[in-house]
Amino acid sequence: KKVVIAGGGDSAVDWAISLCELTEKLYVVHRRPKFRCAPDSAAKLQALNDSGKIEMVIPYQLDSLEGANGKLSAVIVSTLEGEKRSLPANVLLPFFGLAMELGAIANWGLNLDHNHITVTQPHMNTSEKGIFAIGDIATYEGKLKLILSGFAEAAQAAHAAHAIVRPDEVLHFEYSTTSGVPKA
């Protein structure tokens, strides 16, 4: 897969380091050259870039997505001056941290409520088919901003997304307490 990772914190950097050997192409998009992660991780990321195993796309931020029939084909990124670049991609992994600023996502046509993305439960779907939101950025009646809620929302969104990503495949759901430990 051609993967775009967006963000500059520990999660984005750790995923980039972990996935670099498994991807056809891996881009790391960040708005500035400084990363908010462990110094050792930043050094590993730079070494991967220098060796050509990943490509750091800096200073850019997410602008828009391209694709057809529910499949991503490119992630469009732009500089603060508006210079755009198209990154061929099958997968986008956005890792944006605690600042609840939507940036370019605010222009995606999603229903917003005070800088939060309105979702419908139980599937966490937004007003745009195939786009889900979870965690602190998502809002719905009775929302509790707890990490525990975010984990549950992630499971709900992943379950709903499965029907879109693999419409011909039945998802057999198991309780985590009854699935047991995998045999070696």
pLDDT(179) > 90: no
Q: What is the DSSP letter of 163?
A: H
Token pair, residue 112, equals: 């917003």
Tens of pLDDT, residue by residue over 5-51, are 999 988 999 999 999 999 999 999 999 999 988 899 999 999 999 99
- At position 71, the amino acid (one-letter code) is K
Task: Determine if the pTM surpasses 0.75.
Answer: no
Largest CA distance in the chain: 54
At 148 the three-state DSSP class reads helix
Distance CA 125, CA 111 (A): 11
Portion of the chain with pLDDT greater than 70, in percent: 92
Q: Are 13 and 45 in contact (CB under 8 A)?
A: yes
Mean pLDDT of the chain: 90
Distances in whole angstroms, Cα of residue 4 to Cα of each of 32, 122, 182 = 16, 28, 31
Distance CA 157, CA 39 (A): 33
Distance CA 135, CA 51 (A): 35
DSSP strands (E only) in the chain: 2-6, 25-29, 55-57, 61-68, 71-78, 84-88, 91-94, 112-113, 116-118, 138-139
What would the mean pLDDT of 98-127 be, rounded to a whole number? 87
